[in-house]
């Protein structure tokens, strides 16, 4: 595990031992294991799209991961792009006549990167040994495009109400739904998105649809449509753009009847589009399939990156890492329903309490945290706004230079922000040095924050996960200082807890 000690290497996030990684794929829970497949170029630290594989890791707790050999390699059929995996419990595919059940992966074969003009198609493969080896189906491909080369990233789930498999697919500037009884033959059901004004400025990728309970104590459920959007096709000024630019994720709340997704409200313009994350590094997230019913949680990870600069990151023997796994909930607020994200409770096993404070008032130009030194940590805090105009944390601070990453709240603007302009290595791409802001209302004059800091990232969950900012940073390892600051007036710290975090690679 020595390799995980090199510069910038994430200590509490998954990254492959070496070389390139992008989207999480095929996330499925099966016979006691969580599988994480991912877009992987095992021979290069840059993305080689014509030779894209599915990399593979497994975990018992979603926190500690074992990397396995790449699961699905490219071949005559083209590169293996993003997709999903399902448990075929009742052998609907007929692949598991002896075993009774098994895993089926549904993914995009990309031919276009090697042979321009060759369209993307969908294919399947099956595994009878808990995802260790895969056989590509002889009848591949199982789905062809009709009019566009961009036809990819299938996410499939079992729709209990109609007793069918449903696939949602990204098709340039819309998504398409298909249904199937056997995972091999698919019929077009409907599409969504092309008639929503200003919905996007580029290209749709990695869609998902799932059912979720509204609030913890209700019987109501809703359907959520998730979309990753990328900016490959230039800018239309009337179209939406992810809040931090480049690659971003949006979501829609509505209903799904097995064939058609209908929005709860009519979207007038892109102002009403709901964004998942206000940082620049959370993309292509989709949820784990097959999590046991009694658990009931919706859990996902995203690729902590942005296509704008992904292949220029200053890491050396590998490029790309995942976010921490997050639980998604749908909760009712005065302004309506809202998707929230929170670190999964399994992460709590990494905590080693460092410091805790309660009911103190702090003044400008003092730092009650000057004794703390940590390159990775969890910060959980609740503040009551006194006369402060802005307050927050300066993390990964250097004692010898002005290196720092600021995670703060601006009271008058009611804005949460991450400022990484002074976070050290920021010059590898002109879009990297930036301050990312997110609207976040004060609730009863209070603000709650949960923050995960790692060797090369910060993930900020504001007001119990209603507002999230995920950003990579590349500070020196010696930058371990921490400061709690307030500007313009006093701030009351209702509670503050700092936990050191044990590296997930330590045992």
Asked if 59 interacts with ligand FRU (CB under 6 A), we say no
Among 8, 37, 65, 81, binds ligand FRU (CB under 6 A): 81
Q: Is 306 in the site for ligand FRU (CB under 6 A)?
A: no
441-450 exposure pattern, b = at least 16 Cβ within 10 A, e = fewer:
eeeeeebbbb
> Smallest distance, Å, CB 241 to ligand FRU?
17
State yes or no: residue 21 binds ligand FRU (CB under 6 A): no
Active site residue: 23, 48, 281, 289, which one? 23
Q: Which of 152, 200, 298, 437 binds ligand FRU (CB under 6 A)?
A: 152
Phi, psi of 476 (to 5 degrees): -65, 150
Q: Encoding tokens for residue 247?
A: 């690659």
Q: Which CA distances in Å does 169 have to 5, 175, 176, 190, 319? A: 38, 5, 5, 11, 27
Asked if 301 touches ligand FRU (CB under 6 A), the answer is no
52 counts as binding ligand FRU under rule CB under 6 A:
yes
Q: What is the DSSP letter of 220?
A: -
Is-contact 364 488, C-beta < 8 A?
yes
Whether the Cβ atoms of residue 74 and residue 80 lie closer than 8 Å to each other: yes
23 near ligand FRU, rule: CB under 6 A: yes
Q: Nearest CA to 213 among 331, 301, 294, 325?
A: 331
What the block records as the tokens of 362 is 């702090």
CB of 299 to ligand FRU, least distance (A): 20
In this complex, which beta carbon is closest to ligand FRU, that of residue 205 or of residue 378? Answer: 205
Is residue 305 at the binding interface for ligand FRU, with CB under 6 A as the rule?
no
Q: What backbone phi and psi angles, to 5 degrees, belong to 2? A: -55, -40
Q: Are 403 and 476 in contact (CB under 8 A)?
A: yes
Question: Judged by CB under 6 A, does residue 19 bind ligand FRU?
Answer: no
CA 186 → CA 149, 354, 476, distances in Å? 19, 54, 51
Nearer to ligand FRU, 40 or 396 (CB): 40
The yes or no reply on residue 151 touching ligand FRU (CB under 6 A) is no
Site residues (CB under 6 A) for ligand FRU, limited to 232-291? 284
Smaller CB distance to ligand FRU: residue 286 or 411? 286
Beta strands at 152-159 and 351-362: parallel, antiparallel or unpaired:
unpaired
Integer Cα distance of 455 and 5 in angstroms: 10
Cβ distance to ligand FRU smaller for residue 22 or 341: 22
39 binds ligand FRU (CB under 6 A): yes
> For ligand FRU, which residue of 124, 206, 375, 473 counts as binding (CB under 6 A)?
206
Report the residue count for the chain: 507
Q: Which is nearer to ligand FRU, 108 or 403 (CB)?
A: 108
**Residue 120 or residue 403: which is nearer to ligand FRU going by CB?**
120
3-state secondary structure of 238: coil
Q: How does strand 351-362 pair with strand 491-501? A: antiparallel
With respect to ligand FRU, which residue has the nearer C-beta, 207 or 481? 207
- Grouping H, G, I as helix, E, B as strand and the rest as coil, residue 462 is strand
- Least distance to ligand FRU, CB of residue 468, Å: 19
Name the residue nearer to ligand FRU (CB basis): 286 or 388: 286
One residue of 82, 354, 457, 463 binding ligand FRU per CB under 6 A: 82
Q: Which of 48, 88, 153, 425 binds ligand FRU (CB under 6 A)?
A: 153
Of 302 and 462, nearer to ligand FRU (C-beta) is 302
The DSSP-derived string for 280-308 is S--EEEEEPB---TTT--EEEEEE---TT
Q: Which of 202, 236, 176, 410 is CA-nearest to residue 306?
A: 202
User: C-beta of 142: minimal distance to ligand FRU in Å?
Assistant: 16
Query: Minimum distance from CB of 326 to ligand FRU (Å)?
Result: 18
| Other Cβ atoms within 10 Å of 97 Cβ, number | 8
- Indicate whether 319 belongs to the interface with ligand FRU (CB under 6 A): no
Active site residue 23: yes
DSSP 399: S
Task: Report how far residue 292's alpha carbon sits from residue 300's, in angstroms, rounded to the nearest whole number.
Answer: 15
Binding letters toward ligand FRU, positions 97-126, x by CB under 6 A: -----------x------------------
Residues touching ligand FRU: how many (CB under 6 A)? 12
> Under the criterion CB under 6 A, does residue 231 sit at the interface with ligand FRU?
no
Please give the residue ranges that form the binding site for ligand FRU (CB under 6 A). 22-23, 39, 52, 81-82, 108, 152-153, 205-206, 284
Active site residues: 23
């Amino acid at each position: 595990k020595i390799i995980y000690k090199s510069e910038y290497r994430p200590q509490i996030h998954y990254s492959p031992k070496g070389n390139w990684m992008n989207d999480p794929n095929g996330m499925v829970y099966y016979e006691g294991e969580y599988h994480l497949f991912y877009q992987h170029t095992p021979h290069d630290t840059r993305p080689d799209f014509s030779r894209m594989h599915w990399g593979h890791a497994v975990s018992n707790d979603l926190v500690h991961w074992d990397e396995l050999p790449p699961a699905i390699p490219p071949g005559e059929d083209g590169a293996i792009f993003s997709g999903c995996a399902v448990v075929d419990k009742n052998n609907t595919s007929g692949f598991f006549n002896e075993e009774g059940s098994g895993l089926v992966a549904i993914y995009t074969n990309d031919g276009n990167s090697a042979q321009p003009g060759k369209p993307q198609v969908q294919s399947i493969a099956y595994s009878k040994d808990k995802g260790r080896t895969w056989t590509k189906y002889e009848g591949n491909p199982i789905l062809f495009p009709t009019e566009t080369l961009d036809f990819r990233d299938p996410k499939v789930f079992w729709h209990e109400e109609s007793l069918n498999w449903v696939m949602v697919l990204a098709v340039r500037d819309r998504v398409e739904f298909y249904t199937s009884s056997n995972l091999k033959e698919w019929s077009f059901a409907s599409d969504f998105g092309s008639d929503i004004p200003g919905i996007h400025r580029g290209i749709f990728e990695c869609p998902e649809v799932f059912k979720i309970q509204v609030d913890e104590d209700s019987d109501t459920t809703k359907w959520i449509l998730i979309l990753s959007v990328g900016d490959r096709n230039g800018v239309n000024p009337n179209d939406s753009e992810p809040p931090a630019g480049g690659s971003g994720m949006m979501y829609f709340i509505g209903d799904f009847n097995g064939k058609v997704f209908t929005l709860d409200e009519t979207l007038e313009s892109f102002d009403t589009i709901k964004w998942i994350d206000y940082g620049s590094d959370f993309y292509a997230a989709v949820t784990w399939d097959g999590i046991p019913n009694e658990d009931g949680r919706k859990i996902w990870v995203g690729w902590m990156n942005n296509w704008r600069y992904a292949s220029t990151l200053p890491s050396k023997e590998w490029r790309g890492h995942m976010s921490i796994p997050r639980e998604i909930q749908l909760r009712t607020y005065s302004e309506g329903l809202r998707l929230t994200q929170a670190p999964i409770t399994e992460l709590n096993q990494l905590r080693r309490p460092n410091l805790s404070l309660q009911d103190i008032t702090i003044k400008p130009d003092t730092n009650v945290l000057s004794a703390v030194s940590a390159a990775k940590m969890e910060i959980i805090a609740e503040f009551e706004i006194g006369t402060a105009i802005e307050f927050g944390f300066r993390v990964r601070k250097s004692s010898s230079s002005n290196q720092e990453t600021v995670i703060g709240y601006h009271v008058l603007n009611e804005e949460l922000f991450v400022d990484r302009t002074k976070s050290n290595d920021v010059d590898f791409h002109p879009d990297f040095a930036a301050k990312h802001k997110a609207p976040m209302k004060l609730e009863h004059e209070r603000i709650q924050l949960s923050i995960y800091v790692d060797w090369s990232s910060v993930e900020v969950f504001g007001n119990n996960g209603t507002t999230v900012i995920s950003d990579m940073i590349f500070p020196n390892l010696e930058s371990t200082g921490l400061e709690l600051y307030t500007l313009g007036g006093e701030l009351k710290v209702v509670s503050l807890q700092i936990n050191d975090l044990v590296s997930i690679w330590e045992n």
